[in-house]
Structure 1
Amino acid sequence: MSGAGKSGLVWNIYCKWRTSNNSWKHAWASVSHPFNPTDFSRNLLLHLLPKSTSSEERYYKAHPAKDPIQECQHLLHEHVYLVVIDGLQFKEDWDWIKSNLIGSGGLRSCIITITSEESVGKHCVVSSNNAVVHNIKGLEADAALELFKKKCMLYLSVFPQDRIIRRRRLVWRWIAEGYSKGTDSISMEKYAEKLFDEVSALSIIQPVLKASKVIGYRVNGFFREYIISRPVEERVFFPVEVSALGRGHGRLTTEGIGQHLAVGDSWDVDRVVFEGLDFSRLRSLTVFRTVFWPWYVPDRMRVLRVLDLENAEYVSNYAFEKIMKLLPRLKFLSLRGQREVSRVPDSVGELMQLQTLDIRDTSIVALPPCITRLQKLQYIRAGTTIAFTQDDSLSAGEHSTPLSRRSNAMASRLLARFSRRGPDGSCRNGVEVPRGIERLKALRTLGAIDVNTAGDATLSEIRSLFRQLKKLELFMINRKISGWFLSHLFVAQHLESLSMQFEKSDHFVHWDYISLPRSLRSLKMHGHVEQLPRGIEYLGNLLKLTLEKTTLFTPDDIEVIGTLRSLRTLRLRVNKDQDGELQYHSSLFSKLEVLEIVCKSKLRVRFDIDAMEKLEQLKIHCLQGSEMQFSGLEHLFSLKQVWLMGSIDDALKVALEQQLVKHLKKPAPKLEVEPRSSQESSEESN
């Protein structure tokens, strides 16, 4: 049974035994797949060599000109060893090990093999004398939850205290590590989210807020430092072993690398020392704020499951392509934010265990055909993140001052530097997908996809995935394809999150034949939207709604949105350059907690008595040229904070302060001001 904790149990026993039995030598070796006799023997030899030699000496002694197979056989018969062979999958592999390393008779050593295949375990017993098979079974549900929770807590020590961690990043890493066990009634993703919530409730990870919005989490610094600073003799008894290469934590030996390794920028890079380390049990490698070199992934990392380069300082196409050939068991791969990476190598198509591929905010504009071979792939995030509050007027300068024109020119150069462009030079926010995408039957998250570059056959394949997806992000939707393509959304009965960007230069989309799935919990619509989707008022599970319209929101629009019984967060953006009014009546938005308005026109917003009785956060984002006016803030009984952001108008600030002073709630709601110069993206991009 995979994931039952066989290796962890044997490792704990192995560590206790080696500290109490000095007369016996010991060695631990993992079997790579496919099995390579020379690599296995060289890996085993690293442990069989005397421990008195340094890491560097042992490394070079294990790579001599003579045959490492003969050297292993000689040592095993000359000395008494406890040898653990982990990850044995095939009978033929054991037959080779027994025939070439152990031999028949005369061996005084004890050999322990760990396998998930019952037939392999029994084969080892039949072919050996005095052998016993132990079947390790999984824990009951409650006991398993407590163990996985403890593992997740210790796992957090991978991340430095100053790193902001996305929730989705942790969830999918835990899934790849085997900490989440799905059942018939709950998926692995839901189980991992439950673990996240329980660990978060213990304050081991703490939310990071931006304008009262959770943008990520940080690890409790005291907790991490305590775990990392424990001596190796203590950490071997933890259910999760984390090693860190950084200031004060770089004293590692060939036995010092456990299951997880974090490389930080404060580590004094030493290639010789690094290549001398034993990576036979390493399951995850995370790089922070330092250049990622290809030699960080030697050919001995055969059991690596997680490679997280999201916070690396620099990753090149060359490094990306080279390491992909060495990681056959990889389940989680993240290059998020690595702008220098512009292509996915064909070798990624050989990662048959891959579950998560995160290439968000890279320069990759197309997924290769090889991606369709990854039958276990569940999560694809690509494309670039769009800021809902981005001021489009940055590129305009018709009536700007010389100073603003210089600022706009600088912004344009920066955008040009970091924008992702396709072969035709056009700016893209989504990626092109290949034919055959429909073969990914395990896929649950897909985005962002540039549907405008896809042919009819590819669009049909994407449409066939609607039934299985939970999260979908589509870009560059135009009127030509919107009708027949989006008309099949009604079959997406499992879809919980949908994001759509429509071409701004195209005519508006007709919603007459398009029905949104009622399972939606989050809906985002950007670009050229002139009318609300038909039947939006029937989305009873909708919690978050983001709408960008090219026309003003009419009273009918507000009434329709206001009837959504579960809506908690509403974000509205009005791009029309004309006067208008938004009026919120008392009978609408009964459960709304957060309202955000982005506008560049002379918009008047009015709240009636008893309007939005549960509203706690009001966020006002003024784009360039905005002259918004608000009235009735004193009627918002539950209001706690008002955020004023963007191109702030002093008159608006004074007017808001005057209304908040009159508020019945004491102390009165706070007005927080965040000018453009200090703003950062506050959207957590999952």
Structure 2
Amino acid sequence: MEAALLSGFIKVILPRLFSLIDEKYKLHKGVKSDIKFLVKELRMIVGAIDDDELSTASSTARLSIQDLRELAHGIEDCIDGLMYRATWEEQSSFFRRSVRAPKALKTSAQLAREMQRLRQMTREAHERKQRYLVGFPAAVAAAAGQSSSATQLVDESPSSPSDPRILDADLVGVDEPRAELLQQLADVEPRQLKVISIVGFCGLGKTALAAEVYNRETGSNRFEKHAWVYAALKSPREVLADMLWKLSSDVRSCQGESVLQPSDVGQLCVELRQQLVRKRYMIVIDDIRTEDQWKTIKSALPADKDVSSRIVVTTTIQSVANACSSTNGYVHKMSRLDKICSEQLFAKKACPDKYSCYKQPDPAEVLKKCDGQPLALVTIGEYLQSKGWPTGPSCEDVCTQIGYHLENDKSFEKMRRVLIRNYTNLPGHALKSCLLYFGMFPSDRPIRKKSLFRRWLAEGFVEPLPSPSTPDPIAAFDVLMDRNIIEPINVSNNDNVKTCQTYGMMREFILHMSISQNFVTLFCNCKAEPKYVRRVSLHHSSATDADRFDNVDLSLVRSLAIFGKASETVLDLSKYHLLRVLDLEKCDELKDDHLNDICNLLLLKYLSIGGGVTRIPRDIAKLKHLVSLDVRRTKVKILHVEVLQLPCLIHLFGKLKFPDRVKPKSEVHEFLSKGKSNLETLAGFVTDGSGGLLHLIGYMNKLSKVKIWCESLAGCTDRTDLKETIQQFIHDKKQANIGSRSLSLHFDKCCQDFLNPIKGPCYLTSLKLHGDLAALPQFVVSLRGLKELCLSSTKLTTNVLEALSNLSDLQYLKLIAHDLEKFIVRDQAFCRLLRLSLELQCPTFPTIEEGALPFLVTLQLLCKDLHGLSDVKIDSLKHLKEITLDPRVTPTTREKWEKAAKEHPNRPKILLFKSVDSYQSEPTDFFIVSDPAENATAESNIASQGSLQEPDIQTLLNQGLGSSSMMRKQNNPVFNGMGLSEVSSHLR
């Protein structure tokens, strides 16, 4: 695994080397020759690592990898030093004046000597490896016991019993999920094959739940045939052969087929159909990992139309679960244990019977580390018991050394295999780097997905567009999500993930890997810190001790993130000259003066700041590589217009004003008028409707997301400039692949009349209007491509609501108001709508006719005064899966909705909507969704949580709520299931 990560790291370096050979960098001919040499050397190193999977087989091989890592880091430092100097020289020429050289700037002679030193290092590394080369197969090394650490293990799959009855039946909290799955098996409809998928991260109890269900069903007479097969690391032919063996009544007929060739898959399919045709059967396929496996298995099953047979599959991969259950299926998403069940399971495993009357260990630290993962709770509990609790180590002792135990202790072997398997099975080295980057964030902070994308791009782990060797950020994120390695915490109503995080032991594993590989440095709880660091994350109070940084070279840091307080030594930006990512958004003590040296960060690509900052230095215009600038958490109100002249700037976030006047012949005007701007996101700016930035937006041809706050100033009624700017932005150019285009308008205290003259043809994929809407602006009805619409107003009239019915492409509609006037959703209206959210003060809901909203999946009725069903009939909503209610509705109302949901063919889940703590939220407000059926203590927990009071509708209107979101509150029983997941499964 060390080798794989290093290989991916080198692949990130190569494009930078290629860029330095380009003629735009006026480098000495000898330096360019050295660069070409290093390109060839690095290519050979990558090839050797990718071809030689023996790199973890011996101590000499591991030392060789350390040699290569040191060499690769040295090459990267030299490359970035060259790029830094070239950028500084370009800046000096651009500003046509003498620019003071930064302290860390190396001379051309120094860089040339560094290149020569690196050439010599490559020769020495090669010669050293040849002198001490002792290679032998990884399998032999593993058998000899030479793979002793977590980073040296090959992929192993946890063994699965051939007979599920031998599984440990010591389960916790299994009643509800088991009852639900047994009901799915018992239903005779549909009268054809139905596939039930159980999906979730390793160690959540998927196999144990399937075994519980299987064992109960084998004791009944509902199915004529039963079989349990294990699919991991087996070919489809092997799975089919195993299945036939288990199903065959004549075992001897199968014994002769034990050595079938791959060409015999067809023969196996024929024999399986003979065994199953016209019979009602139940088969469990445990740990299926690929869709191809399922396709072959499915092809062997008879296509009986009148037999209610059932297949149960378990998998860690969401896309595989969806594929298996795509037709007449059911997907059960495993949840982690709540606090009560976690305590029960941990106590069972940690405390010997002879100490049952002794005071139980305080599980607080263990529950925090395990985060509801049953396997982790069992692992730590059994470890404590093996060490002789209560005389042995305490919970706190174990938790502070969890990384050591994961790497070295045999009691953690199964946990270690689970974590390593999920890491090593990631396709590609870049994905491993993306995952390890999660170590930069504190465990109690949800991570904003789009911010994470921009950091990955700045570091070079991913590319803006797909390339053969490096994935794009969306693809990388989707793979991690699909494998349940990371989980969504905050999911918007339009089903977009807003925030996410890793959890439990996976997070501990990521931290251990990233620190041991010198990928991330955390200055906390460590007696000795490394001298050279490349990515620094300072959590909470870890950055306040200036003495800890005296011997640390910060000039090589590429990513710096500060959460909480920080010393002046850390905040001295003159120490960092190769920085690419700077996150000071949650830095408590950040002031204006700390940004004085920001102009020296010439390679900076990502900048996010907060704290007490009130101004951004004009010198920020020197950051020619800056791609993302986020000042939403600052007190900055006015931004220098020179920022718009940054050639690489793509994303600009804040609530900003720009100078009213921009001179026609100024450098900024010339830059923009020549179409040089790459800005895609401008979210957003404040305007009175005329002048200033509005005249410049028309030149920003790549804009795809715009957010505008319209001020109402005394004596200012002319908003012609704003109207023309909006008209130009939404103009439909009839392009086939125009992509997404989003507009958010806030006009709470001013009239919307300036919107009325806007005419088509127009194109938007997302529109948010916040303010009093007397009528729906005409351009909205004529929008092409509109998929998302949010209207926020004091009152939404019948005229406005009826006009929405003409939006035939709409997939997500959100209405926020004190109340709605009465209106009827007619038959065939909103024919493509998937999600509808109504946040109201008064319980007046639309009447839905039969045939309306034919594909609605999610319905949110957020009104605390909702009484009963309020004449809302869900029977006709054939695809409904989730219904979300205000948590303050009466128990009687909730019971009526739960009853209606059980009577619905789909049995949609009933969810509760909660407001999120401010420290967790994004710059806009979001919400938590919980499942009231999740555990028996939900009511008391809701009552005891003072932070769970939902803000009233007027507050939402005043704040201009853009999009609600569903969030999971960590370490709280009522929130231990994701809003869109199934009811919690509490089992080992």
Q: Which TM-score band applies after superposition, normalised by the shorter structure?
A: 0.5 to 0.7
TM-superposed CA distance for 1:614, in Å, is 2.5
**Counterpart in 1 of 2:704?**
470
Which residue in the other structure is 1:146 paired with? Answer: 428
Q: CA deviation at 1:361?
A: 3.5
- State the shift of 1:27 in Å: 7.6
**TM-score normalised over the length of structure 1:** 0.66
Could you tell me which residue of structure 2 aligns to residue 2 of structure 1?
A: 15
- Is 1:678 aligned with 2:949? yes
Query: Could you tell me how far 1:359 is from its partner in structure 2?
Result: 0.8
Q: Give deviations 1:102-123, integer Å, cap 9, x for gaps.
A: 99xxx9993679xxxxxxxxxx
Contact persistence 2:607–2:628 (CA under 8 A):
yes
What is the aligned counterpart of 2:535 among 231, 247, 260? 260
Superposed CA RMSD in Å reads 4.5
* Residues 380/300 of structure 1: CA separation in 2 closer, same or farther (3 Å cut): same
Q: 2:454 aligned to 166, 172, 184, which one? A: 172
Contact kept? 2:687, 2:708, Cα under 8 Å = yes
Give, as a single letter, the amino acid of the residue that structure 2 aligns with 1:544: E
TM-score normalised to structure 2 length: 0.47
Q: Separation in 2 of the partners of 1:108 and 1:450?
A: 52
**Contact 1:548/1:575, CA 8 A, preserved across alignment:** no
Separation in structure 2 between the aligned mates of residue 170 and residue 159 of structure 1, nearest angstrom? 10
Residue 460 (structure 1) aligns with: 695
If you compute each CA radius of gyration, which structure gives the higher value, 1 or 2? 2
1:460 alignment partner AA:
H
Letter of the 2:874 counterpart:
L
Aligned to 2:686: 450
User: What do the CA deviations read for 1:122-172 (whole angstroms, capped 9, x no partner)?
Assistant: xxxxxxxxxxxxxxxxxxxxxx99333232122222223322111110111
Higher relative contact order at CA 8 Å, sep ≥6: structure 1 or structure 2?
Answer: 2
Partner Cα distance (1:501, 1:652) in 2: 38
Q: Which amino acid aligns with 1:431?
A: K
Alignment of 1:531-546 (within 5 A): 531-546=775-790
Q: Report the 3-state secondary structure (helix = DSSP H, G, I; strand = E; otherwise coil) of the residue aligned with 2:537.
A: strand
In 1, Cα distance between the equivalents of 2:818 and 2:65? 69
Q: 1:569 to 1:293 in 2, by over 3 A?
A: farther
For the residues of structure 2 that align with 1:108 and 1:673, how far apart are their CA atoms?
58
- Aligned with residue 324 of structure 1, among 598, 603, 606: 598
After superposition, the C-alpha distances for 1:48-90 in whole angstroms (9 at most, x for unaligned) are xxxxxxxxxxxxxxxxxxxxx9xxxxxxxxxxxxxxxx999xx
SS in 2 for 1:225: helix
Paired position in structure 2 for 1:488: 728
Contact 1:228 1:244 in 2 (8 A): no
User: What corresponds to 1:407 in structure 2?
Assistant: none
3-state DSSP of counterpart to 2:576: coil
**Residue identity in the other structure for 1:653:** T
How far does the alpha carbon of each residue in 1:332-387 deviate from its partner, in whole angstroms, 9 at most, with x for none? Answer: 0012xx3522211223222121110011132111111331331211110102xxxx
Aligned to 1:365, what secondary structure does the other structure show?
coil
d(CA) in 1 for partners of 2:537, 2:894: 49
Conserved 8 A contact 1:486-1:514: no
Q: Deviations over 1:200-250 (max 9, x none)?
A: 222222101479764410124433322432497x616xxxx2222223x56
Could you tell me how far 1:531 is from its partner in structure 2? Answer: 2.2
Q: Indicate conservation of the 8 Å contact 1:641/1:672, yes or no.
A: no
Tell whether the 8 Å contact from 1:605 to 1:628 is kept in structure 2 after alignment: no
Q: Structure 2 CA distance, aligned partners of 1:586 and 1:207? A: 35
Q: CA 1:463/1:668 → structure 2, altered by over 3 Å: closer, same or farther?
A: closer
* Aligned counterpart, 2:677: 441
Find the counterpart in structure 1 of residue 524 from structure 2. 246
The within-5 A match list for 1:622-661 is 622=863, 629-645=870-886, 648=888, 650=890, 653=893, 657=897, 660=900
Kindly indicate whether the alpha-carbon contact (under 8 Å) linking 1:582 and 1:603 is maintained by their aligned counterparts in 2: no
- Of 803, 810, 817, the match for 1:567: 810
2:791 corresponding residue in structure 1: 547
Where 1:603 maps in the other structure, the secondary structure is: coil
Structure 2: segments with no counterpart, 5+ residues: 1-13, 19-37, 50-60, 87-102, 124-425, 663-667, 916-946, 952-960, 967-988
Specify the SS of the correspondent of 2:593: helix
Q: How far apart, CA to CA, are the structure 2 residues paired with 1:601 and 1:509?
A: 30
Q: What are the within-5 Å matches in structure 2 for residues 148-297 of structure 1?
A: 148-182=430-464, 191-209=472-490, 214-230=497-513, 235=517, 241-247=519-525, 249=526, 251-255=528-532, 257=533, 259-265=534-540, 267=542, 269-291=544-566, 293=568, 295-297=570-572
- Equivalent position amino acid for 2:459 in 1: E
Counterparts of 1:373 and 1:207, CA distance in 2: 36
Q: Is the 8 A contact 1:588 1:611 kept in 2?
A: yes
Pick from 747, 762, 767: which aligns with 1:517? 762
8 Å contact from structure 2 (residues 822, 844) kept in 1: yes
Q: Work out whether residues 280 and 301 of structure 1, in 8 Å CA contact, stay in contact via their aligned partners in 2.
A: yes
Give 1:294 shift: 5.5
In structure 1, what is the Cα distance between the partners aligned to 2:118 and 2:540? 46
Within 5 Å, which residues of 2 pair with 1:325-474? 325-335=599-609, 338-383=610-655, 430-432=656-658, 435=662, 436=668, 439=672, 441-452=677-688, 455-456=690-691, 458-465=693-700, 467-474=701-708
How far apart, in 2, do the equivalents of 1:202 and 1:491 lie? 40
Q: Using the alignment, how far apart are the partners of 1:312 and 1:365 within structure 2?
A: 19
The structure in which a higher percent of residues are strand is: 1
- How far apart are residue 626 of structure 1 and its match? 12
Against the structure 1 CA distance between its residues 365 and 162, is the aligned structure 2 distance closer, same or farther, given a 3 Å change threshold?
same
Structure 1 residues 432 and 151 mapped into 2: Cα distance closer, same or farther (>3 Å)? Answer: same
CA contact (8 A) 1:262 1:287 kept: yes
Q: Is the 8 A contact 2:540 2:564 kept in 1?
A: yes
- Alpha-carbon distance between aligned partners in 2 of 1:292 and 1:189, rounded to the nearest angstrom: 37
Q: Cα–Cα, structure 1 residues 15 and 315, in superposed 2: closer, same or farther, change >3 Å?
A: farther
Residue of structure 2 aligned with 1:597, choices 807, 820, 838 = 838
The alignment of Structure 1 onto Structure 2 pairs a total of residues equal to 531
SS at match of 1:152: helix
Give SS of 1:149's match: helix
Deviation at 1:673, TM superposition (A): 5.7
Q: Is the 8 A contact 2:868 2:894 kept in 1?
A: no
SS of residue in 2 equivalent to 1:295: coil
Structure 1 residue 550: deviation in Å?
Answer: 5.0
Question: Are the structure 2 counterparts of residues 290 and 572 from structure 1 closer, same or farther at C-alpha, using a change threshold of 3 Å?
Answer: same
Q: Helix, strand or coil: the match of 2:822?
A: strand
Aligned to 1:502: 747
Higher deviation after alignment, 616-625 or 222-231: 616-625
1:613 maps to amino acid? P
